């Protein structure tokens, strides 16, 4: 197991840094490829869902939860 890796992703025209463990980056890249989306587009979709919540989690947490929930389907 490895610690978080920070990457910059452009969402809605601005860059943001996201820290995720390598296993989550791999899963996120695979899901973006499966959906035929750029990684930044998938992250943007997850972010758009995140901010509709009454108490939004930070983006990295939202990505982890989204990946987990997606895997459980």
59 burial (CB, 10 Å; 0-12 / 13-18 / 19+) is buried
Task: Give the residue from 63, 25, 29 showing the smallest Cα distance to 44.
Answer: 63
55-69 pLDDT, tens digit each:
999 999 999 999 999
The mean per-residue pLDDT over the stretch 37-57 comes to: 95
Q: What is the pTM of this model?
A: 0.92
pLDDT, position 59: 96
pLDDT, position 28: 97
14-20 and 5-11 as β-strands: parallel, antiparallel, unpaired?
antiparallel
The mean per-residue pLDDT over the stretch 19-38 comes to: 97
């Amino acid at each position: 197991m490895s610690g978080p890796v920070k990457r910059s992703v452009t969402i809605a025209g601005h860059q943001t840094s996201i820290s995720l463990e390598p296993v989550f980056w791999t899963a996120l890249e695979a899901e973006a490829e499966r959906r035929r989306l750029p990684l930044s587009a998938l992250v943007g979709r997850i972010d758009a869902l995140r901010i509709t919540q009454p108490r939004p989690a930070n983006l990295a947490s939202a990505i982890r939860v989204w990946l987990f929930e997606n895997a459980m389907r």
